[in-house]
Amino acid sequence: MSSSKTEMPLFSRFSVYLKDYKAAFIIAIVGMVGYASIDAWVFSQLQPIIDDSLGKQNYEMLRIAAFFVVPIFIVRGLFNFMGTYTLSWIGNQVVMNMRQELFNKYVNLPVDYHNNHASGELISKVIYDTEQVSAAASKALLTLVREGAFVIGLLVVMFYKSWQLSLVFLVLGPIIAVIVSIVSKRFREVSKNIQQAMGNLTSTVEQVIKGHKVVLMFGGQKQEKQRFAEKNNHNRQQNMKLIVARILSVASIQVIASISLAVVLYISSLPYMVEKLTPGIFATVVFSMIMLLKPLKQLTTVNSEFQRGMAACASVFEVIDQKIEDDSGTQKIERLQGDIAFNDVTFSYPGSATPALKHISFDAKQGQSIALVGRSGSGKSTISSLLTRFYNVQQGQIRLDGMPIQDIKLTNLRKQFALVSQSVTLFNDSIANNIAYASKNVIRERVIEAAKIAHVDEFVDLYPDGYDFMVGEDGANLSGGQRQRIAIARAIYLDAPILILDEATSALDTESERLIQDALDKLQQGRTSIVVAHRLSTIENADKILVIEQGQIIESGDHQSLLDKDGAYSQLHKLQFSEGVKG
């Protein structure tokens, strides 16, 4: 009972995607009902053919029928095309719209959501789950309407020819309804498990493809093969459970239908029925009952498709119902001056009891360079994540040009920052389009200028397509240093008032680092910079250096004053310097 209660709101919500295709649905229904009606009408003609033509040896009707057979089947084919093509078109439209809505949701969901969900699972929802919805919208509805109309047509023929023999179906209907209700719940449960298994399977494949070099280097082929085999087998087991449920439900209904047929045959043999039945009526009723077995089987089978579609709907709607990034800002800012102020900021990541930042306070004036140093996990990168509002502060306040960042609209806020991080993300597009990513109008001259400053032009000439060279997925066709230079060129092209450099030169060799550091020095002029650095040599000229330990600022000052204190910064400097000498 609970299954049907949850199913109806789910289907009602799904039907919203169908409301724009009412005209197409009418065409489809006309086609499917027309197709089924012709089949039912053909069966209704068995009785006069047998009784009048063959029984009374009146062959004129057979000769007339011969002329109508081909036209009838042509019309039947046209009705079939109308129904099948139109419903398939509707199904593909629905899956396209649902995929688009799901993708639109993904690009607007908070960073935290993506961090807590495997990308393979999210990809599976877009590819696999929406296909199941498409099957429910096209194949399931096609079978439901067409075969349902055929069953109704056959029942009308049977009751019209002999209502006494057909009464047995008044008992058959409720029994079939009970079986379908019980099996539906099982179908939905198994279908949900299949979707989860597909998500796990996709995640496993994605991890191996992305980490292929690591797998080869560490000899993890056997381990990954075994891991995939387990996920693959689990997926197979879930599919087999669905198949078993489908077979048992079909078999049960066909056994019940066969019992009804046996009862009809027995009743037909009784003396008082023999007197009323002609050979044509008997043949029509029996053949109609036999023909009912196939559509009843398909209607039961399609229930599994429908339940898979509804389970997929639930999975997709679960994502669509997620809250997008909270954008409470109302201020539309074209360009900030670049003043930054952290006032007693404390922040904990969702699900973590330990604060990542504790009572952080500092300010940066327009054009100043603020360097953040400390051990990995001390909270340096968290500061840049709060500035760009990937996460929201829980205590304290961050201000830009004196305005709380919550008051600035997200799209306007993030345009004020150019981010170059340690892990570079490039898209499977040209070098030029990666540099000018998300720009409405790509200005080729500005792209080339940014590329020269970031020393991208030094390797662009190596490729025959130049700036139109395709970098591959995540820049697979480029070296780490080349990817980093393109990311820096992207920041230069953006020309934002605030720069965030998160280990921006970490992937570069010494020569490249020298060139890029020179470019970054030029880029930082007139801009406020937040520099997260591991190599202290890159931030010696910073206006202010903050030493962060366990989410707290333990030292603050410029390079020389911090060395004179002989504290944590001085110890880090001595350690790196001694390592450099040894190297």
Domain locations in the chain as residue ranges: 2-320, 331-415+543-583
Give the three-class secondary structure for 372.
strand
> Nearest to residue 483, comparing CAs of 541, 537, 424?
424
What is the structure's pLDDT at 504? 66
Fold of 2-320: ABC transporter transmembrane region fold (1.20.1560)
Question: What amino acid is encoded at 487 in this protein?
Answer: A
pLDDT of residue 271: 65
Q: Do β-strands 417-420 and 498-502 pair in parallel, antiparallel, or remain unpaired?
A: parallel
In 325-430 the beta strands, taken as DSSP E runs, fall at 340-347, 357-364, 369-373, 395-400, 403-404, 417-420
Cross-strand partners of 555? 547
Nearest to 487 by CA among 431, 429, 417, 445: 431
CA-nearest of 451, 419, 458, 415 to 435 is 451
Residue 529: strand pairing partners? 369, 499
Q: What is the DSSP letter of 15?
A: G
Residues in CB range of 331: below 8 A, 6 or more apart: 403, 407, 408, 409, 412
Query: Cα(37)–Cα(154) distance, rounded to whole angstroms?
Result: 9
CB-side neighbour CA atoms (13 Å) of 72: 13
Q: Which fold has domain 331-415+543-583?
A: Rossmann fold (3.40.50)
| Beta carbons of 536 and 373 less than 8 angstroms apart | yes
What single letter denotes the amino acid at residue 173? G
Determine the Cα–Cα distance for residues 417 and 130; give it in Å rounded to an integer: 36
Instruction: Give me the DSSP letters along 133-183.
Output: HHHIIIIIHHHHHHHHHHHHHHHHHHHHH-HHHHTHHHHHHHHHHHHHHHH
Look up residue 423 and give its amino acid: S
Residues of the chain with pLDDT under 70: 1-8, 52-59, 61, 137, 164-173, 176-177, 180-181, 184, 188, 210-214, 216-218, 268-277, 297, 300-301, 304, 504-513, 515-516, 519, 577-583
Task: Summarize pLDDT for 210-242 with one digit per residue, the tens.
Answer: 666 667 666 778 888 888 888 888 888 888 887
Is residue 97 a contact partner of residue 17, using CB atoms and an 8 Å limit? yes
Q: Residue 583's pLDDT is what?
A: 40
Contacts of 120 (CB under 8 A, 6+ apart): 199, 200, 201, 202, 203, 204, 205, 206, 207
